[in-house]
Amino acid sequence: MGYIKKLFFVFMFSIVLSTSLAFCNDEIKLVPVGKVVYIHCYLKSPIVEDILSDYAKNLKKKDVVLSITCKSRGKVTSLEDMQNIMRLEKEKIKVKFIRKGKTKSVSMTSDELRLYKLDCVTGGIGTITAINENGEFIGLAHELSCVKNNLGFEKINIYETDFIQQRKSDKDDVGFLVTNTNGKLLGNITSVDEFGVKGNYTNFKYDPSEALSIAKPKVGRAYIFCSDSITNELKLHEIKITDVNNSLSSIKILDDSLIKFRGGIVKGMSGSPVIQDNKIVGGVRSTKISNPKEGYISNIDNMLGISLD
C-alpha cells in the first residue's frame, strides 16, 4: 500500500499535452499526472466542422479542405478566401480535399459550399500521462484525431478543465467525459504521433519525491491513475494487464467505481497513466467497443519514443 499512498499527492497544477521532448533513456523519472485537459487546435487547413443542410451531398464532417478553385477567384487555400467564395452566387467551383487520408476532388457550386461550416480551429479533451523535471510532458496515448489527416497544425494549446462528469459506456456504445475549460492556459503541444502527444507545460514545479521510474508493462495487477467519478479526486483504479505486446498491451478494468459509473473506459480517459509495481508503464489508449471493461494501453517506451530493451 506504500506506493499507492505515494501517488495521492496534490496536483495543484494541471498538465498539458505536448512537444518533441528531450527524453533520454538514462534514469528517466516522471511525475504521473492523470489530469483531463482541453485541447485547442489551430490547423493549417480548414476542416468541415458541420453540415448545415441535407442538400449538402459532396463533403462530409472532418474532411480537410485543401483548396477551392473557381474562375473568378482562381485557386485559394485560406479559410478567409474560401469564405469569400461562399459569398458568390451560382459559381462553379472545384474542391480538393482529404478524406480518411485519401486526397479527392469534387465539383459543386458556391451555393452548396455555403452549406458547410469550415473552420481551422477545433478542440476536444484528453488526459496528460506524465511530465519530467523540465516541464515536458506526454499524453493522450493515441494520435490526435483533429491533426491525423490534416497537413499539420499552426499551434495546439492546452487549457485547464473544471468539474468532470461522464456518460457511461455500454456495449457497442462508448461513453465520454464531460467537462469545460476555465480558460487557464497550461501549455502547448509541439508534436503528435500514433502513440500520443508531447509538449511543454508552463511554470511547472518539479518535485522529485512525486516522480516514478518507468518500465515495460507485464501481465498482472496494475492501476489507472485518474479522477474519481464522484469526487473528481485523482486516485488509483485497479486493472489487470492481460496481454503484453511490443507497442500496445491489453487491459481489463477491475475497479468497481469505474465499472459502476463509467462502464469501464470512456472517451477522454485516453492518456491516463498506468502504474504497475510503483512504475509508469503506459497510458490508456482505447476501449473495446463490444466490451468497454476491456481496452488497450500504449506502452510507455513507445509514448516516449525510446527503447527499454
pLDDT values of the chain reduced to their tens digit, one per residue, 309 residues: 344 334 433 332 233 333 334 555 557 999 999 999 999 999 999 999 999 999 999 999 999 999 999 999 999 999 999 999 999 999 999 999 999 889 999 999 999 999 999 999 998 999 999 999 999 999 999 998 888 878 889 999 999 999 999 999 999 999 999 999 999 999 999 999 999 999 999 988 899 999 999 999 999 999 999 999 999 999 999 999 999 999 999 999 999 999 999 999 999 999 999 999 999 999 999 999 999 999 999 999 999 999 887
Q: Is the alpha carbon torsion for 11, 33, 21, 145 positive or negative?
A: negative
Cβ atoms of 304 and 214 within 8 Å: the answer is yes
58 contacts 108 by C-beta, under 8 angstroms: yes
Q: 278: helix, coil or strand?
A: coil
Distance CA 52, CA 86 (A): 13
pLDDT value at position 272? 98
Q: Given this model, what pLDDT does residue 9 score?
A: 37
CATH class held by domain 2-42+121-304? mainly beta
As a whole number of angstroms, the distance between CA 266 and CA 168 comes to: 7
Rounded CA gap, 267 and 178, in Å?
A: 9
Strand-pairing partners, residue 267, are: 176
- What is the rounded CA–CA span in Å between residue 95 and residue 231? 49
Return the domain boundaries, the chain.
2-42+121-304, 53-114
Q: Is 21 in contact with 192 (CB distance < 8 Å)?
A: no
pLDDT computed for residue 22 by the predictor = 52
Burial group, residue 233, by CB count within 10 angstroms (0-12, 13-18, 19+): exposed
